[in-house]
Chain A
Amino acid sequence: MTEAPVSLWSVTAATLKKDIRLEWRSKDALNSMLFFSLLVVVIFSFSFDPLAEESRLIVGGLVWVAFLFAAVVALNQTWARELRNQVLDAYRVSPAPANALFLAKVLGNFIFVIVLEALMTPLFIIFYNLHVLGPVWQLIPIAFLGTWALVVNGTFFAAMSLRTRNRELMLPLLLFPISIPAVLGMVAGTTAVLTGDNPAHFYIVLLLTYDVVFTTAYLGLFETILHAE
């Protein structure tokens, strides 16, 4: 009998491909995320005059609020799918390393949220008449690192809230306090780039540090979470 490779990367890749395929077929999460973000964009476009200079100060925060809540929509169903048909239990007894499952989920959610952000960005530009005054390219590391921060925390806490009574409520309650430094980095960094007033370098370094610290910590702690009854 040939031994199938049970390395970290092979399991991660297989799980990731499965998740993306499932999502692509149903597009459940993506549709709800898109709709939600669109709603936020439209509602807030009534709250201030898009031609005013001040609008650039607020948009950074708005954009990330929209993405944060949309990400929670995606994260909520991240593990729910695995609970059905005892797929999660199968993972627990398999020889596959727990980290592989975690990484795959994080990568999957990361891709979904990045796709959402890519789709929403033109809409933000249109609705808020955005004209970026600072170096535009800096928005890319901010978006990537910021999204990773949200998604790595969210996937971990979603797994933690699996066994709680109000799962959907528990996730944002656990996620938001711990994400505050990352959210500050994202919002302040985006605002810095939009207004061109301040350099955004420190925020990028902050987000990078945050991502490294927490990804490492969660890779170490995930096995404990996975095996919780």
Chain B
Amino acid sequence: MNSIKFLFAAYIATWIIHGTYLGTLVRRFSRLKKELDELGESHRSANQ
């Protein structure tokens, strides 16, 4: 039954890999959205 450990390790590892990647996507998204908003803000304040 030792080999079952490998089965669970494989399934868990798969989702850790996918989860980590999705996490980086979310982080990059929020950072870009913030930048875009800041750019809009700075331009609006510069024009006033």
Direct contact of A and B (CB under 8 A): no
Q: B interface vs A, CB < 8 Å?
A: none
Q: A interface vs B, CB < 8 Å?
A: none
